[in-house]
Structure 1
Amino acid sequence: MTTPLQAQTPPLKLVALGDSLTAGYNLPGSAAFPAVLEKLLREKGISVEIANAGVSGDTSQGGLERLDWSVPDGTDGVILELGANDALRGIDPAVAEKALDAIVTRLKARGIPVLLAGMYAPRNLGSDYATRFDGLYPRIAEKHGLILYPFFLDGIAGDRVLNQPDLLHPTAEGVRVIATRILPTVERFLTTLRPRS
């Protein structure tokens, strides 16, 4: 028995809008998060295409500035993964929150649903910063009624085996862990999308 997602034709078109964690820093394109996630979904019989709109070094504000050309018309949904560089640079969490909120608001205005992938601040920035930064993703998700995946690097953060030597960017195996862990949340997100007529 096929599900509505499995019977979906043409494929659902998603855009993964993010930074180097989406882009696949130091990895071949086939090992980047969007390609790995697309493969996992297709293996489950879900017809989907995921465009890689990751730009290494991008902050939330950078993502906002390139939003319109990064997410073309005809996009069925966006996986939004931004904020890690804001935290690494110690940018005021209010600035990141404002930019992410604006991205979601503009996508919603275009009728494009968003799955929000959260991030945690490095703990060396202090508890006050971490509390303010970590809390911005649940706030945005609640405000806009979004599905939230709380921590994009869940399962690999700080793991020397699953990260490149900089301990910031996942290895190919690390990306596979990320994609496998987020998969159920993505599947739930896909069931909320309206197929194009």
Structure 2
Amino acid sequence: MTQAQVDELDQSLTTALRSTTIEWAVNLRICDMLQANPTLAQIAMGRIRDRLRKESPVPVLLALSLLEMVVKNCGMSACRFVGDDLAEALVSLVKKRQTWWYGLGRNLHKSGMSTWLPQGASIDEGDRKMWQQASSKVLEMLQLWTDAFMLHEAQLRPVFGAYKELRKDGYRFPRSSHGTSTGLQLIAGAEESPAFLAGA
């Protein structure tokens, strides 16, 4: 990995993660860079993790979209870099609506006091729907990844740990009528998974 590659990735990540809408071409360019040099995935995952910890839903949804595209296009080579801190950020997104901060923000908005407070202190209906969308997206992604890479659980402990924690806590993961995740065929490398073969 050269400094020029790191700089190009950093510039692309900044464009993708600081936008107000999904930058499809930039996201695909990031996937191409990571496929060409898988060691860059660690940098990308670190930046994605940082955006997942934002208090506004838009940057979080952009980061989730990029993360989803990276894993779908790069497969195991990218998923290996989902560390404990990134997995923890994903779990936190699913559990966000259970936090006192989220509850306070919703109550402030409902009480009508949100106009007097700084932006971001209250959670309006639009933000609530986006946080719900983020939570659903995380559950969908974790289900896809665990189905796609079930033979590699030892290499993906943070991913499987997050999945098991949420499952134990009673969260429902999306499933198709075949019992496997919908869209499993869209993940690079998933064709060797027993879940892929069972759903074929």
Q: Which has the higher contact order (CA 8 A, sep 6+)?
A: 1
TM-score with structure 2 setting the length? 0.33
The structure that has the greater radius of gyration is 2
Q: If each structure's strand is expressed as a fraction of its own residues, which one has the higher value?
A: 1
